[in-house]
Amino acid sequence: MQPDLANTLKRISAEGRDGFYKGETANLIVAEMQANDGLITHADLENYEVVWREPVQGNYRDYEIWSMPPPSSGGIMLLEMLNMLEPYDPGALGYGSVETLHLMIEAQRRAYADRAEYLGDPDFVDVPVEILTSKEYARHRFSDFDPMAASDSNAIGAGSWPAESPDTTHLSVMDSTGMAVSLTTTLNATYGNRWVIPGTGILMNNEMPDFAAKPAPPAPGSITGAVANAIEPGKRMMSSMAPTIVKKDGQVLLITGSPGGSTIINTVLQVIINVLDHDMGLEQAVMSPRIHHQWQPDSIRAEPGAMSEAVQAALVEMGHGNISISNSQGDANSILVRDGVIEGMADLREDGGVAGF
């Protein structure tokens, strides 16, 4: 039982915005701040505004892809990588093959370099959404792809960004009328900063590390990764959340998303590729082993079974170094609609569940 949280939710239900940002809830938050040298004031709460942003939208083959806009980097990067992969045929190349993994790694490498340079809060920086999600840009960005050799991440651009906690939550929901929701929400680390405002049941997040703590000026001839996501008053930090809906002929086909910090986007990418290109059923698409490359550090993380020893050796021969085996990547709770049947799959990597009502 969580009576404090229940009372907070009742106030929000009865009073709307004022049930949280003003009145009793706000008084409890500010009192806790004052008692523990916190920074949040009544003025901060009253002045905060939720911003409604239109999702980013693109196409991959004959499918519509709808995903999260900035300040999340997820949707833009997902579309950019799909655009890079579209001229190729991962299905024909085969799941887990050297050719398919090399393609995905090189697309991931370039997209994450762009993330570091261009992505941030669109209220503070000019995010070139239309360019980054265009087919023309993807062709240009992938024009130096070598099917026989790995790229040099430092030649593509150097930089870094803060580590993101993998402790996020994703829900995929669909009702009998076809209404679909893909929802990713986060406090950042497990239980946020592990501080509950007494009397409210509200956990405080620790999202500030998602800002670039030390903005780096551009170096001649290089791409840097911190300026667009630098800390500023009133600015929203960048995330990797990528709740996504895939449609075919105007109808919802796939609802997916994942937690996982910087691995989120690559997890979602692989679930989509598994369904659309490898023609997998939902359970196989969600549970197939995943890989992750994020440009810097220049290394590959792979779940057990994602690549055979022979494939791993071939990738190393191509110049892909620093391949490490990770225990788990993501928690892609998803829904697939085929032939009028709604199928749900709870990713077995984490605790979760699937239910119908």
For residue 341, what are the contacts with CB-CB under 8 A and spacing of at least 6?
A: none
pLDDT for res 167: 72
Select which of 8, 25, 100, 168 is catalytic.
168
Looking at the structure, give the CATH architecture of the domain made up of residues 56-166+213-345: 4-Layer Sandwich (3.60)
pLDDT in tens, 103-125: 999 999 999 999 988 999 999 99
The pLDDT mean for the chain works out to: 92
pTM, 2 dp: 0.90
Weakest mean pLDDT among 173-187, 192-206, 212-226: 212-226
Active site residue 25: no
Residue 159 has pLDDT above 60, yes or no: no
Q: Nearest 5°: CA angle at 211, between 323 and 20?
A: 125
Comparing CA positions, the residue from 267, 352, 269, 273 lying closest to residue 303 is 267
pLDDT in tens, 31-64: 999 999 999 999 999 999 999 999 999 999 999 9
Domain boundaries, the chain: 1-50, 56-166+213-345
pLDDT for res 208: 87
